[in-house]
Amino acid sequence: MIKEEAIIIGAGPCGLAAAIELERIGLHPVIIEKSNIAHSISMYPTYMHFFSTPERLEIGEIPFTTPNDKPSRLEAINYYRTAALRNSLRVNAYETVLRVDRQDNGLFRLTSADRYGEEKQYEARYVVVATGYFDHPNYLGIPGEEMDKVTHFFREAHPYTGMEVAIIGGSNSAIDAALELERVGAKVTVIYRGAGYSSSIKPWVRPGFEAKVNNGVIRMLFESRVVEIDKRHVIVESPEGRHPVANDFVLALTGFHPDRDFLTSSGVRIEEEGFPYFDETTMETNVPGLYLAGVVASKHEANEIFIESGRFHGNKIAEHIVSLR
């Protein structure tokens, strides 16, 4: 049994920020991360730039220096890795927490498995869940979704050159992917259930995208949804009925959700809307000593801009722990 004062699950920006704040109040937390530091950001599109300015992504009062107005994915990876190293944070990478159980004595017992499949047991007084959403896409639940041609992640456009690509969704991620794909010669169809363009689309991107749709360069299907996927088509349902659209690959960019099963098994109450309960002033869940940090607590705003506020969750957690002492 490995005994710790505090354990943080997840080494994304908000998990790292929480660890720095707990260090400052005298705790020496260990971070258990099932992949690598800032894994979600490393999975973002290769050439992505954040909406936020660099100072709004800073953690631990470490300056985020860049000559660009909007930091790139690569700059963010370098920054968060450096923040972890500069603060000598303890990160157990490639280790997955399987269970969190609160014992009668008020302490938590955690069971994890490393990349060799060997289990470990931990005991801790405080646990912070900062696992994010990115590993749990919102599936469509339609025939053909399990095919190799379907992915819920977009990395870069090059592999799709000359291909018929259907993008499901109308958010920024869908619009950005469509523009990148069109630039490399893909034939793009965007399928969106809304009656018009999403209000969340970046204002400096929307005019260019609309121009390409109006000129027939990108095909945009409103009030439409994919109901089936086969080898050579997607079947689209719209107010006019069902019709096939020629297709080689599908990007289902339909968003993500928290790991509700893991949270429920840890005792966290899930609210009617499907989001975990927590006190917004302390980030503590209904389980005493169990906290949420980062995008797992973002509810409807699970995107990269949430780092701007999620990075301060560690401050709330640290203040609450100090008050308990």
Q: Could you tell me the pLDDT band of residue 305, with boundaries at 50, 70 and 90?
A: very low
For 224-261, the pLDDT digits (tens) are 999 999 999 999 999 999 999 999 999 999 888 778 88
Both tokens of 290, joined, read: 């169990």
- Alpha-helix runs per DSSP H in the chain: 13-24, 39-42, 73-86, 172-183, 206-214, 260-265, 307-310, 313-324
Domains 2-135+256-324 and 150-252 fall in the same CATH topology: yes
For 257-301, the pLDDT digits (tens) are 778 889 899 999 988 777 889 999 999 999 999 999 998 887 655
Q: CA-to-CA distance for 37 and 321, rounded, in angstroms?
A: 25
- Side chain identity, residue 125: R
The DSSP H or E segment spanning 141 is: none
Q: CA-to-CA distance for 113 and 148, rounded, in angstroms?
A: 28
State residue 85's pLDDT score: 95
State residue 304's pLDDT score: 44
The domain segmentation of the chain, as residue ranges, is 2-135+256-324, 150-252
State residue 167's pLDDT score: 98
Q: CA-to-CA distance for 176 and 213, rounded, in angstroms?
A: 13
The 3-class SS string of 108-134 reads EEEEEEECCCCEEEEEEEEEEECCCCC
The pair phi, psi for residue 265, each rounded to 5°, is -65, -20
Closest Cα partner for 19 from 94, 95, 126? 126
CB 156 within 8 Å of CB 46: yes
Average the pLDDT over each of 95-99, 197-201, 257-261, 292-296 and give the range with the smallest value: 257-261
State residue 230's pLDDT score: 96
State residue 259's pLDDT score: 80
Closest Cα partner for 57 from 9, 25, 91, 12? 12
Q: Tell me the pairing of strands 219-221 and 164-168.
A: unpaired
Q: CA-to-CA distance for 51 and 44, rounded, in angstroms?
A: 13
Percentage of the chain exceeding pLDDT 90: 76
If one compares 15 and 308, the residue with the highest pLDDT of the two is: 15
Q: Could you tell me the pLDDT band of residue 321, with boundaries at 50, 70 and 90?
A: very high
What are the beta bridge partners of residue 201?
none
Instruction: Tell me the CATH class for 150-252.
Output: alpha beta
40-53 mean pLDDT: 87
55-76 mean pLDDT: 91
Other beta carbons within 10 Å of 248: 16
Q: Could you tell me the pLDDT band of residue 18, with boundaries at 50, 70 and 90?
A: very high
Query: In the CATH scheme, what is the code of domain 2-135+256-324?
Result: 3.50.50.60
116-142 mean pLDDT: 91
